[in-house]
């Protein structure tokens, strides 16, 4: 039996471009992609913290160290420049793999440089 778990996420990145007439996808700074473990053309889930919209698309590599987060094609209707987004991927894991799995978490600064990385989310307290 497989469990679908969070594989990785880029937390609180800022949208730098919303390109309606660019081929659909989401361009992500290559350094952020590599640190998070997002593969080019991998399905990604984008959660817009600013407006609450959620959508699925695929990742394309943006220029390394550019800070680019470009929401493209029809998805550009879901985000504006300056919006805060979370970008996540999921994977299927066997029970044994799931027991040992730790997601790759990348936390972004407002300029989309890396603030810090982690492999666990703190326990939420009441």
Catalytic positions, written as ranges: 25, 58
67 assigned to a ligand binding site:
no
Indicate the burial class of 32 (C-beta count within 10 angstroms; 0-12, 13-18, 19 or more): buried
56 assigned to a ligand binding site:
no
57 assigned to a ligand binding site:
yes
- Two tokens, residue 22: 């660019």
- Two tokens, residue 63: 């220029």
Geometric angle at alpha carbon 97, from 92 and 98, rounded to 5°: 70
52 assigned to a ligand binding site:
no
The secondary structure of residue 83, as a DSSP letter, is -
Q: Are strands 2-14 and 17-19 parallel, antiparallel or unpaired?
A: unpaired
Indicate the burial class of 1 (C-beta count within 10 angstroms; 0-12, 13-18, 19 or more): exposed
Annotated binding site for substrate: 57, 73-75
Task: Please report, in range form, the residues annotated as the binding site.
Answer: 57, 73-75
């Amino acid at each position: 039996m497989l469990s679908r778990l969070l594989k990785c996420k880029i937390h609180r990145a800022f949208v730098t471009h919303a390109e309606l007439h660019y081929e659909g996808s989401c361009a992500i700074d290559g350094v952020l992609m590599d640190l998070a473990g997002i593969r080019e053309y991998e399905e990604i889930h984008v959660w817009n913290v600013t407006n609450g919209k959620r959508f699925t698309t695929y990742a394309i590599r943006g220029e390394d160290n550019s800070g680019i987060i470009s929401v493209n094609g029809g998805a550009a209707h879901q985000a504006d420049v300056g919006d805060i987004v979370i970008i996540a991927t999921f994977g299927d894991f066997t029970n044994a793999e799931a027991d040992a799995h730790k997601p790759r978490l990348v936390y972004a600064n407002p300029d989309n440089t890396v603030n810090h990385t982690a492999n666990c989310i703190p326990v939420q307290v009441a």
